[in-house]
Structure 1
């Protein structure tokens, strides 16, 4: 049976200051998409509101825009995928073996409190599926609760974009909260690489998280490994 992966992207296009654009960090999608495509998986994108997922401008520039990013930017079919993402109410969690939350600072606004995404995540996880995220995508796991009322992340090893990386990226004063700190407050056992901006993946059972954009390939590879591929 073909594996099915649900990839979550943001609908947010700006920081709180509407003159400052943000959006999906494209390589966090493209790197995972290519790994999953090589495995023959069926993939679908969902966003909190459905429809367009804006792109983070900084992720489209050299040297951050690698070959996979340029390929997507030059492919009208793939651009259409980002323009017409599904809404959560169009998704049946039973159809998916794994969920993968992409990042970009945009997700800090629309991922954490989306009850529909939380429901989808919970149902996939409780059907023995895999929950995964990369970079800021872990903001989508902040408030997800299991059927027993416990937070999914409580007592779990995980990683995601670190506060020191926010500072070094020059956006610490622009983000709405410290995601690393919020994870720790929820009882998560947060880990990060000794050196910022290097790949790091943490696997705790069926929870797979990557620290930053540089971790997307390794995160997707680990998801595939857990799926037996």
Structure 2
């Protein structure tokens, strides 16, 4: 049985205070659903523990897919989102995959969280899977390995690109340009030919997804790669 740590945000507003943000629901529900279908053990964690707010944009009809709608109506699942584990409380546990779910909110509490950095560093250096989707990829930005190099240096990865930020009308709200920041760390940034379409990049045991529309494919790729390690 595989064990997954799905990391979500605790932030509910942009720094300006003008707009609400939070977890992008589909970026959690698809991997959660795929893991539960396989009877894998899932822990939902966050930097502070407790409630993870949901970005209202992810609940709009054209964004709310069938899987996400099912979990939105699942009381047990929604209760889990109100009572996430604090990352500091799971540092002694081992996981087959650490998965960073996205949402603009993660740009505030993922990049500089020392506990998250430590978890990812240990996970990666033990040749275990690290996965991140959309803005959750920002959680990889400041992770340094034992040799002092950034984890993403020289790696092929993807994430929510700057043009997609324009389409989302959030360029003036976000604290930094994610695409530019990843490139500054020496990452080989890859993106879909058509914005806002599914794109997943596998670089060994580091897997990244570009945007919310990559949620289903990410779940498929992550579970496929995890199942390979069982054979």
Find the residue that maps to 2:85 and give its secondary structure: coil
1:53 corresponds in structure 2 to 52
Match of 2:165 in 1: 166
Structure-2 change in CA distance of 1:209 and 1:223 (3 Å):
same
1:177 is matched with: 176
How many residue pairs get matched?
A: 228
The answer as to whether partners of 1:144 and 1:151 remain within 8 angstroms in 2 is yes
- Tell me the distance in 2 between the aligned counterparts of 1:81 and 1:144: 27
Cα distance in 1 for partners of 2:34, 2:164 equals 25
Worse-matched range after superposition: 189-198 or 39-48: 39-48
Matched, 1:116 2:115: yes
Partner Cα separation in structure 1 for residue 137 and residue 72 of structure 2: 25
Q: CA RMSD in A?
A: 1.1
For residue 67 of structure 1, report the CA deviation from its aligned partner: 1.6
Q: Does 1:30 align with 2:29?
A: yes
Structure 1 residue 124: Cα displacement: 1.2
Per-residue CA deviation, residues 13-64 of structure 1 (Å, 9 max, x unaligned), is: 0011223100000011001111122222111011111110000001011011
Residue aligning to 2:82: 83
After the TM superposition, which segments of 4 or more aligned residues of structure 1 sit over 6 Å from their partners?
A: none
Which stretch shows the higher mean deviation, 156-165 or 39-48? 39-48
| Deviation readout 1:82-103 (Å, 9 max, x if unpaired) | 0011111111354201111010
CA distance in 2 between counterparts of 1:224 and 1:67 reads 20
Taking structure 2 as the reference length, the TM-score comes to 0.96
Q: TM-score, normalised to structure 1's length?
A: 0.97
Question: Does the aligned pair in 2 maintain the 1:94–1:123 contact within 8 Å?
Answer: no
Indicate the SS of the match to 2:53: coil
- List gaps (5 residues or longer) in structure 1: none
Once residues 137 and 57 of structure 1 are traced to their aligned partners in structure 2, the CA distance between those partners, rounded to angstroms, is: 17
**Aligned counterparts of 2:134 and 2:4: Cα–Cα separation in 1:** 18
**Secondary structure at 1:228 match in 2:** helix
Deviates further, 194-203 or 36-45: 36-45
Q: Which runs of 5+ in 2 are unaligned?
A: none
**Equivalent in the alignment of 1:102:** 101
Instruction: Tell me if the contact between 1:35 and 1:217 (Cα under 8 Å) persists in the aligned partners.
Output: no
Aligned partner of 2:43 in structure 1 is 44
What is the match of residue 215 of structure 2? 216
